[in-house]
Chain A
Amino acid sequence: MSTVTVPLPDLTTPRAQVLLAIADDALISGHRASHWTGVAPSLEEDLAFSTIAQDGISHADLWYRVLLDGAGHDGDLRAGVDALGLGREVDAYRHAIVCERPPRDFAYTLARHWVHVHVEARRLDALAGSTDAEVAALATKLRHELRYHLAHADHWFDRLTTGDEPARDRFRAALAAVLPESLGRFEPAVGEDEVVAAGLFPVGHVALRGHWLEAAAPRLERAGFADLVPGADTLVADAAAGGRTGRHTEDFTQDVWPEMTALYRAHPDARW
């Protein structure tokens, strides 16, 4: 098997670790969204999750570019981006573990997606104020585009929480499973304090939790799910802790990662 060694910048810097967390959340969420292509419950939702998948993977691609550009990468940019997205070992990925969970049923997918887009919106709001001009410009653009995903996710939230009993029950069960694991989204990247202090990532993942809850808690309460709102002291579920430091479950190491990287590992120098 041929191997191509793509020179990558130092990925242990706080800047790289934060950008990897942002990019990897998008990449792995996008990859899981793609599992609905062809099998979603309706044609509209098939198109929706196929687009969500494409957007997630594209957004990851752009964050990897920002990472490489800012680190002085002077090699082939496409090869560098592919090496970051597909060429790392499993413990080098920095996404929250909840992103790697299988789609399960459509209720679980919609519950996880609702949390994902609202956290992402708050994170992009913060990044739009970054002192790094490239980070701020990309975040501003992505935040504007996210409106479509927010409208879609909120539409389903409202429809299922105001629907008949089976719909409400299933969506409630899905939220109950998703929310404790979703707190892993607010784990800080390695060395994040430094990047927050420097203004590259205003707010930071830890304080982002409060920003997200400000918007999410009233919605959950209105839906009659006040008991599901995570408390200020609630810790991320053990099973979903550690993603930002490279701990991942078999849902990633034995499922997403082998599938996602198979072609790249077989043909590392392929161009497409």
Chain B
Amino acid sequence: MTAATTVDPAAVRRAVEGVPDPELPPVTIGMLGMVHDLDVATDGTVRVELLPTFSGCPATEMIERDVVDAVRAVDGVQQVTVRFRFDPPWTPERIDATGRERLREFGIAPPGGPVPSPRPEGRTSLPLLVAPSAAAAAGPAADPRPCPFCGSDATIRDSEYGPTPCRDLRFCEACQQPFEAFKTF
């Protein structure tokens, strides 16, 4: 009657992948493709390896704590270690289809190719106060993104820097909305 509870690796994976990104709560670290490797030992020790989306992400320590808490709640787990690694480097292709759609719904253009988002019927344009300069969209890595709100490709990058280190600032000339894009790291 003393047999230790066997840990279900699938339950551990579900727990890890379900941890939300603290700065983008609708998106989980599983959707972002941050989970590199999981190992469940027979003594109930779980080892998790994660890939940070970008190196200086201030949310990594929160994510580490949240992963430890989530895995500890799985039956039979005795101990959890979380390690961040840079090899292989995280790339935008690791974001799955759900993650990309959730980012878009959140108003952030995902990296790595256009996201189909049909322009809502009957949407009117706001008057243009200052014509954005086409030159602002140029540069060594213009990295065009469709607007997350109306789907138009008529967008420019206003600045390489945005409200968090992993996002930049864009403007949609079609629906006149500023928006943010997840940087291509």
Q: Using CB atoms and an 8 Å cutoff, list the residues of chain A in contact with chain B.
A: 44, 47-48, 50-52, 54-55, 57-59, 61-62, 78, 133, 136-138, 140-142, 144-145, 147-148, 150-152, 154-155
> Could you tell me if B139 and A151 are in contact, using CB atoms closer than 8 angstroms?
yes
Q: Would B140 and A141 count as touching, CB distance under 8 A? A: no
Q: Is B56 part of the binding interface, using a Cβ–Cβ cutoff of 8 Å?
A: yes
Q: Interface majority SS on A: helix, strand, loop or mixed?
A: helix
* CB-nearest residue of chain A to B159: A44
Q: How far is the CA of A144 from the CA of B86 in the complex (A)?
A: 12
What residues of B have a CB within 8 angstroms of the CB of A78 in the complex?
Answer: 61
What is the interface of chain B, defined by CB distance below 8 A to chain A? 54-58, 61, 85-87, 89, 139-141, 158-163, 165, 168-169, 183, 185
Q: Are A48 and B161 in contact (CB under 8 A)?
A: yes
**B140 pairs with A58, CB closer than 8 A:** no
- In the assembled complex, the Cα of A78 lies from the Cα of B61 at a distance in Å of 10
The answer on a CB contact under 8 Å between B86 and A141 is yes
Q: Known: A137-B87, A141-B89. Contact between A48 and B139, CB under 8 A?
A: no
Query: Which 8 A-B residue pairs are closest in the complex by CB-CB distance?
Result: A58-B56, A137-B87, A137-B86, A48-B161, A44-B159, A47-B161, A141-B86, A51-B161
B77 → chain A, closest Cβ, in Å? 22
Beyond A47-B163, A57-B56, 11 additional pairs, beta carbon < 8 A: A48-B161, A50-B161, A54-B56, A58-B57, A59-B55, A136-B87, A138-B55, A140-B89, A147-B141, A151-B139, A152-B161
User: What are 17 A-B contacts with C-beta separation under 8 Å?
Assistant: A47-B159, A47-B163, A50-B161, A51-B161, A51-B162, A57-B56, A58-B58, A137-B89, A141-B54, A141-B55, A144-B185, A145-B56, A145-B185, A147-B140, A148-B168, A151-B139, A151-B141
CB-CB nearest in chain B for A57? B56
Which of B56, B86, B158, B160 has the most chain A CB within a 10 Å cutoff?
Answer: B56
Given known pairs A59-B56, A142-B55, A147-B141, the reply for A137 and B161 (CB within 8 Å) is no
Chain B residues, Cβ within 8 Å of A138: 55, 86
- Tell me if B55 and A48 are in contact (CB < 8 A): no
Q: Is the Cβ of B87 less than 8 Å from the Cβ of A133?
A: yes
Complex CA–CA separation, A154 to B141 (angstroms): 12
Contacts of A48 in B (CB 8 A): 159-161
- A147–B142 Cα distance when bound, in Å, is 12
- For A139, give the chain B residue with the smallest CB separation: B86
Q: Which residues of A contact B162 (CB under 8 A)?
A: 47, 51
Known: A140-B86, A144-B185, A155-B139. A51 touches B165 (CB 8 A): yes
Q: When chains A and B are docked, how far (Å) is the Cα of A51 from the Cα of B57?
A: 11
Quote the shortest CB–CB distance from B21 to chain A (angstroms).
Answer: 17
B164 to nearest A CB, angstroms?
8
